[in-house]
Amino acid sequence: MYRKSISAILALGLVLSSGSAYAQVKSAPNEHSAVAFDNKVIKKINADNMYNTIAYLSEQPRAAGTEGEYKAVKYIENQFKSFGLETTIQPFPIYDTQINHVIVKINGTDIKEKPNPFSGSISKQVTAPLVNIGKAFPEEIGDLTGKIALIERGNITFTEKVQNALDKGAVGVLMYNNSSSGNFSGQVQDGQNIPAVAITRATGLQLVEQLKTTEVVATLDVDIEKIEKTSYNVIASLKPNKNKDTGQIVMVGAHHDSVPVGPGANDDASGVSVVLELARILSKTPVDTEIRFVTFGAEERGLLGSYYYANSLSKDEVPRIQAHFQMDMVGSKDAGGDNPFGGFIMYTLDGKKNLVTDLGAAAAVRIRSENISYGQVGRSDHQPFHELGIPSAVFTHAPLEAAYHKPTDTLDKISKEKLQQVAEVIGASVYQIARPDTPALVNATVAQELVDYSFENRPID
Ligand SMILES: [Zn+2]
């Protein structure tokens, strides 16, 4: 699970849909048949396999672009291949920043703190009058030709702020934090070729005060280098029986990278372990739908692997993908608080139900007599698929555990029972689409029981 900056979360416009709704899912004539099909998959699930995968993967951190990631990638590739799946490793570039120096001067004097360059900022030195433009809403900005914009963090994304200033002619951006604690930085996107630097709230507010009465000339001096590294996605395809091929694709994903500081047993070796276990089982089960098992790299750096993969899909492939099931942090003993079903929840990017949540909710009722609610969160690899119009959700336990993104995210916090539950629900859901007895899935009408499940505004952390 990716920790997003506050600005970016707000920029997503988290408008919560209200109340609960009912999933009108077609009833099958014989509900027992659905359970019989579930059993073809769920009876074969072995929690020890998943636990052992996590044990191996969490021996070391797996930060994108490191040896640890590559070791995990080779392990996952070998597992998929051992199941007889057509497997590819998809490399993609990621960039680290090496900071040589970043200097901010006000009227020729260095500020009394260490400023941070925006990620992706160009290296350049500019000296120009400073203009306070608030949070950089476009309607509040006048002409900035030849000026450096002083911006407060918050409400809109970093790149929007930079673009709004650029559009009015700014030659640099100096952004101050919107809270007095926490980290401060930002990011620019390709083509935003002005130096951009972040400073603390205290210094920012001093400048705002100063600008009320006098002119201020600022110098931004940024000297940073981009270092290219390689991260990877691992993609395994289970092909349908040639005589019974609907031409459709269903995807099952997790991310194999971890944060640099922790071994990522739950985040997200747990999701990978379920992907591998379902791949093992389904590779021996006839299907009429291609099942694509993917583990993504560089999720923790902002969903880079899944965006790279989604962008690499051909125009012809996208409409064939019926669903993307993402699993992120699905095995922690300590996650979920006092919520029912261990805190198991499904999140969609737009807070609306879709085929994935319908299938997941129906499977949980069939198999475990449990209700799973759904909520609205991005922050994982379901996001790029949603943006392509593919029904998608991330399955997790919320609220997240205390060990999230810490060195303590270790194997001893993993619950085999939680892994088992998640594998059953996802395995049964995927098999509803992929089993050869169903007619080709056109719309969200394959789940076998009428279930109701509710929107829940449950925060993730
Ligand atoms: Zn994470």
In angstroms, what is the span from residue 304 Cα to ligand 1's centroid?
13
412 burial via Cβ count (<10 Å: 0-12, 13-18, 19+) = exposed
**Which of 41, 35, 40, 39 shows the shortest CA–CA distance to 274?**
41
Closest CA to 278 of 259, 298, 292, 263: 292
Q: How far is the CA of 62 from the centre of ligand 1 (A)?
A: 11
Q: How far apart are CA 317 and CA 192, in angstroms?
A: 32
CB count in 10 Å sphere of residue 39: 12
CA distance 169 to 218: 16
pLDDT at 243: 86
Please answer whether residues 237 and 86 qualify as being in contact, where contact means their C-beta atoms are separated by less than 8 angstroms. Answer: yes
Q: What gap in Å lies between CA 1 and CA 84, rounded to an integer? A: 30
Taking residue 338's Cβ as centre, other Cβ atoms within 10 Å add up to 5
**Among the listed residues 308, 257, 302, the one whose alpha carbon sits nearest the alpha carbon of residue 158:** 302
Distance 383 CA to ligand 1 centre (A): 14
Q: Spell out the per-residue pLDDT of the chain, length 461, in tens.
A: 888 653 333 333 233 333 333 333 444 445 446 788 899 999 999 999 999 999 999 999 999 999 999 999 999 999 999 999 999 999 999 988 789 999 999 999 999 999 999 988 999 999 999 999 999 999 999 999 999 999 999 999 999 999 999 999 999 999 999 988 766 788 899 899 999 999 999 999 999 999 999 999 999 999 999 899 999 999 999 999 888 888 999 999 999 999 999 999 999 999 999 999 999 999 999 999 999 999 999 999 999 999 999 999 999 999 999 999 999 999 999 999 999 999 999 999 999 999 999 999 999 999 999 999 999 999 999 999 999 999 999 999 999 999 999 999 999 999 999 999 999 999 999 999 999 877 655 444 454 556 889 999 999 88
Span from the CA of 259 to the centroid of ligand 1 (angstroms): 7
Please give the model's pTM, rounded to 2 decimal places. 0.79
| Distance from Cα 262 to the centre of ligand 1, integer Å | 10
Centroid of ligand 1 to alpha carbon of 214 (angstroms): 45
How many Å is the Cα radius of gyration of the chain? 24
Question: What are the pLDDT digits (tens) for 111-156?
Answer: 999 999 998 899 999 999 999 999 999 999 999 999 999 999 999 9
Distance 395 CA to ligand 1 centre (A): 13
CA of 336 to the centre of ligand 1 (A): 16
Distance 3 CA to ligand 1 centre (A): 7
Residue 200 alpha carbon to ligand 1 centre in Å: 26
CA 122 / ligand 1 centre spacing (Å)? 28
d(CA 169, CA 295): 42
